[in-house]
Protein backbone atom coordinates (compact mmCIF):
# COMPACT_ATOMS: atom_id res chain seq x y z
CA UNK A 1 0.00 0.00 0.00
CA UNK A 2 2.83 2.38 0.90
CA UNK A 3 4.53 1.71 -2.45
CA UNK A 4 1.29 2.50 -4.27
CA UNK A 5 0.97 5.85 -2.48
CA UNK A 6 4.59 6.75 -3.27
CA UNK A 7 4.10 5.70 -6.89
CA UNK A 8 0.94 7.82 -7.19
CA UNK A 9 2.74 10.79 -5.64
CA UNK A 10 5.62 10.43 -8.10
CA UNK A 11 3.30 10.16 -11.10
CA UNK A 12 1.29 13.15 -9.88
CA UNK A 13 4.44 15.24 -9.32
CA UNK A 14 5.91 14.38 -12.71
CA UNK A 15 2.56 15.17 -14.37
CA UNK A 16 2.35 18.60 -12.71
CA UNK A 17 5.95 19.35 -13.65
CA UNK A 18 5.33 18.21 -17.25
CA UNK A 19 2.24 20.35 -17.67
CA UNK A 20 4.01 23.41 -16.28
CA UNK A 21 7.11 22.74 -18.38
CA UNK A 22 5.22 22.14 -21.64
CA UNK A 23 2.97 25.18 -21.41
CA UNK A 24 5.52 27.69 -20.10
CA UNK A 25 7.96 28.11 -22.94
CA UNK A 26 11.19 30.03 -22.60
CA UNK A 27 13.40 31.86 -25.08
CA UNK A 28 15.60 29.63 -27.14
CA UNK A 29 18.01 30.36 -29.96
CA UNK A 30 17.85 33.57 -31.98
CA UNK A 31 15.84 33.10 -35.17
CA UNK A 32 16.35 36.59 -36.55
CA UNK A 33 17.63 39.98 -35.44
CA UNK A 34 17.09 43.36 -37.07
CA UNK A 35 18.04 46.92 -36.16
CA UNK A 36 17.16 50.39 -37.43
CA UNK A 37 18.01 53.92 -36.26
CA UNK A 38 17.56 57.62 -36.68
CA UNK A 39 20.16 60.20 -35.58
CA UNK A 40 19.22 59.95 -31.88
CA UNK A 41 18.28 56.36 -31.01
CA UNK A 42 18.18 52.81 -32.33
CA UNK A 43 15.52 50.11 -32.20
CA UNK A 44 16.44 46.44 -32.27
CA UNK A 45 14.02 43.53 -32.68
CA UNK A 46 15.13 39.99 -31.89
CA UNK A 47 13.03 36.92 -32.62
CA UNK A 48 13.75 33.94 -30.38
CA UNK A 49 12.54 30.41 -30.91
CA UNK A 50 10.35 29.33 -28.01
CA UNK A 51 11.61 26.29 -26.13
CA UNK A 52 8.42 24.30 -25.50
CA UNK A 53 7.34 20.80 -26.40
CA UNK A 54 3.70 21.64 -27.11
CA UNK A 55 3.05 24.25 -29.82
CA UNK A 56 6.40 26.07 -29.76
CA UNK A 57 6.22 29.59 -31.16
CA UNK A 58 8.47 32.60 -30.94
CA UNK A 59 9.24 35.55 -28.68
CA UNK A 60 9.81 39.01 -30.18
CA UNK A 61 11.86 41.39 -28.05
CA UNK A 62 11.86 45.10 -28.97
CA UNK A 63 14.67 47.20 -27.46
CA UNK A 64 16.02 50.73 -27.84
CA UNK A 65 19.36 52.41 -27.17
CA UNK A 66 20.82 55.86 -27.76
CA UNK A 67 23.14 56.21 -30.74
CA UNK A 68 26.70 55.38 -29.64
CA UNK A 69 25.56 53.39 -26.60
CA UNK A 70 25.21 49.68 -25.90
CA UNK A 71 22.80 50.37 -23.06
CA UNK A 72 19.74 48.61 -24.51
CA UNK A 73 16.41 48.86 -22.71
CA UNK A 74 13.50 46.55 -23.36
CA UNK A 75 10.45 48.20 -24.90
CA UNK A 76 8.17 45.17 -25.15
CA UNK A 77 8.24 41.39 -25.44
CA UNK A 78 5.55 39.59 -27.39
CA UNK A 79 4.89 35.86 -27.77
CA UNK A 80 3.30 34.35 -30.84
CA UNK A 81 2.25 30.76 -31.39
CA UNK A 82 3.59 30.80 -34.94
CA UNK A 83 6.98 32.29 -35.78
CA UNK A 84 6.69 35.10 -38.35
CA UNK A 85 9.35 37.34 -39.89
CA UNK A 86 10.23 40.47 -37.92
CA UNK A 87 7.78 43.19 -39.01
CA UNK A 88 10.34 45.74 -40.19
CA UNK A 89 7.72 48.05 -41.70
CA UNK A 90 6.07 48.30 -38.28
CA UNK A 91 8.96 50.22 -36.69
CA UNK A 92 8.96 53.89 -37.70
CA UNK A 93 10.63 57.17 -36.83
CA UNK A 94 8.81 60.48 -37.25
CA UNK A 95 11.78 62.65 -36.26
CA UNK A 96 14.78 62.51 -33.88
CA UNK A 97 12.55 62.32 -30.79
CA UNK A 98 9.47 60.40 -31.91
CA UNK A 99 9.28 56.79 -32.98
CA UNK A 100 6.78 53.98 -32.73
CA UNK A 101 6.47 50.24 -33.23
CA UNK A 102 3.58 47.80 -33.26
CA UNK A 103 3.00 44.09 -33.51
CA UNK A 104 0.03 41.92 -32.62
CA UNK A 105 -2.12 43.82 -30.15
CA UNK A 106 0.62 46.11 -28.83
CA UNK A 107 1.70 49.59 -29.88
CA UNK A 108 4.71 51.39 -28.36
CA UNK A 109 5.66 55.06 -28.75
CA UNK A 110 8.46 57.31 -27.57
CA UNK A 111 8.46 61.10 -27.75
CA UNK A 112 11.76 61.70 -25.94
CA UNK A 113 14.31 60.11 -28.23
CA UNK A 114 13.83 56.54 -26.99
CA UNK A 115 14.46 57.17 -23.28
CA UNK A 116 10.93 56.19 -22.28
CA UNK A 117 8.25 54.25 -24.10
CA UNK A 118 4.49 54.14 -23.57
CA UNK A 119 2.69 50.88 -24.38
CA UNK A 120 -0.90 50.67 -25.60
CA UNK A 121 -2.49 47.22 -25.77
CA UNK A 122 -5.76 46.73 -27.65
CA UNK A 123 -6.71 43.65 -25.59
CA UNK A 124 -6.65 45.78 -22.43
CA UNK A 125 -7.89 49.10 -23.83
CA UNK A 126 -10.76 47.66 -25.89
CA UNK A 127 -11.84 45.04 -23.36
CA UNK A 128 -15.60 44.73 -23.15
CA UNK A 129 -16.22 46.31 -26.56
CA UNK A 130 -18.62 43.92 -28.31
CA UNK A 131 -18.30 45.94 -31.53
CA UNK A 132 -14.56 45.19 -31.79
CA UNK A 133 -14.09 41.54 -32.70
CA UNK A 134 -10.43 41.64 -33.77
CA UNK A 135 -7.80 43.18 -31.51
CA UNK A 136 -4.77 42.68 -33.78
CA UNK A 137 -3.29 45.85 -35.25
CA UNK A 138 -3.01 45.76 -39.04
CA UNK A 139 -1.59 49.21 -39.76
CA UNK A 140 -0.77 52.49 -38.09
CA UNK A 141 -0.08 55.86 -39.67
CA UNK A 142 1.00 58.72 -37.39
CA UNK A 143 1.96 62.16 -38.67
CA UNK A 144 4.67 64.50 -37.34
CA UNK A 145 1.97 66.65 -35.66
CA UNK A 146 0.90 63.68 -33.48
CA UNK A 147 -2.37 62.87 -35.25
CA UNK A 148 -2.86 59.43 -36.65
CA UNK A 149 -5.01 56.41 -37.33
CA UNK A 150 -4.84 52.75 -36.37
CA UNK A 151 -6.62 50.05 -38.33
CA UNK A 152 -7.34 46.68 -36.77
CA UNK A 153 -7.53 43.47 -38.80
CA UNK A 154 -10.98 42.59 -40.07
CA UNK A 155 -12.73 39.79 -38.23
CA UNK A 156 -14.79 37.51 -40.53
CA UNK A 157 -18.02 38.42 -38.71
CA UNK A 158 -17.52 42.19 -39.08
CA UNK A 159 -18.43 42.19 -42.77
CA UNK A 160 -16.39 45.23 -43.79
CA UNK A 161 -16.97 47.22 -40.59
CA UNK A 162 -13.42 47.32 -39.30
CA UNK A 163 -12.95 49.73 -36.40
CA UNK A 164 -10.61 52.68 -36.91
CA UNK A 165 -8.91 54.33 -33.97
CA UNK A 166 -7.57 57.89 -33.89
CA UNK A 167 -4.91 59.63 -31.86
CA UNK A 168 -4.00 63.25 -31.24
CA UNK A 169 -0.86 62.53 -29.16
CA UNK A 170 1.35 60.17 -31.20
CA UNK A 171 -0.58 57.13 -29.99
CA UNK A 172 -0.26 57.53 -26.25
CA UNK A 173 -4.06 57.21 -26.32
CA UNK A 174 -6.33 55.89 -29.05
CA UNK A 175 -10.07 56.51 -29.46
CA UNK A 176 -12.53 54.47 -31.48
CA UNK A 177 -14.03 56.41 -34.37
- List, for residues 125-171, the tens digit of each pLDDT value: 888 765 655 678 999 999 999 999 999 877 666 666 777 899 999 99
pLDDT number for residue 50: 85
pLDDT > 70? residue 74: yes
For 37-55, b where at least 16 C-beta lie within 10 A, e where not — what string?
bbebbbbbbbbbbbeeeee
Q: Is residue 144 part of a domain?
A: yes
Share of the chain above pLDDT 70, in %: 78
Q: Is residue 112 part of a domain?
A: yes
pLDDT number for residue 21: 47
pLDDT number for residue 8: 67
By DSSP bridging, strand 99-103 and strand 164-167 are: unpaired
Q: Is residue 10 part of a domain?
A: no
Q: Is residue 8 part of a domain?
A: no
The Cα 117–Cα 151 span in angstroms is 21
What's the number of domains the chain is made of?
1
- 31 is in which domain, residue-wise? 25-176
Q: Is residue 15 part of a domain?
A: no
pLDDT number for residue 33: 97
pLDDT number for residue 165: 92
Q: Is residue 7 part of a domain?
A: no
Q: Is residue 12 part of a domain?
A: no
pLDDT number for residue 22: 47
Q: Is residue 70 part of a domain?
A: yes
CB-CB neighbours of 164 under 10 Å? 12
Amino acid sequence: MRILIVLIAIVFGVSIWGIAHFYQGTRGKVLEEWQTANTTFRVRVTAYKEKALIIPGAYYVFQSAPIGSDNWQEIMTLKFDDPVPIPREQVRFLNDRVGYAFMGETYAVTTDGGRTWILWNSEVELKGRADVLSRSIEKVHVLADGTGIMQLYEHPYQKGKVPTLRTQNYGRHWNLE
